[in-house]
Amino acid sequence: MNARSSEQGEYDELCCYTLAHGDPSFIHQHVVDAWAVQRADEATKPITITFGLIGLYLRVEQQWSGRRVQRAHMALAREKHAWPAFVLPRDRGAVTAATVMTAPPGPERDAAIDAWCAAVWNAVRGNRETVVALLDQHGIIDRASGVLNQRRG
């Protein structure tokens, strides 16, 4: 088994964990977003990268639950858009799905998911202004006031 398929297996196992979690905050969304951004390449669809970056920003900087992030994604997906181009550095954080899976199930693994999100977001944070502008443009946040739109998110 090569490293890529091993990492995919760890991600799949982590998805099983988060989908069976039962927490209404829906931490699975954070796993999907961290994985999408960390593993993105030239073949990755722009919407996948955009939604992943949005999800990481909303989780790490705004402490949104996965459920709220999912609702923001759904609001953005209602209309077709030309998504912005993002710069993704080669290094996108040392924490991976495999790292998260070494934590015992429960609060420790949930905290490891947050650490993974933070590690990936910190690596791609150079895209922050584009992400914030996009969220402001679509009414998810109000950039001028710094207030998150409670109605949309």
Q: Where are the domains of the chain?
A: 3-148
Q: What is the pLDDT of residues 24-36, one digit of tens each?
A: 899 999 999 999 9
pTM of the model: 0.91
Within 13 Å of residue 36, how many CA atoms lie on the same side as its CB?
A: 19
Distances (CA, A) of 100 to 42, 67, 144, 146, 152: 26, 20, 36, 32, 30
Q: Is 88 helix (H, G, I), strand (E, B) or coil?
A: coil
Q: Which two tokens stand for residue 45?
A: 């669809």
Q: Where are the alpha helices (DSSP H) in 1-153?
A: 3-19, 28-39, 46-60, 66-77, 97-101, 107-124, 128-137
Q: What is the pLDDT of residues 113-133, one digit of tens each?
A: 999 999 999 999 999 999 999
Q: What's the pLDDT band for 153 if we cut at 50, 70, 90?
A: very low
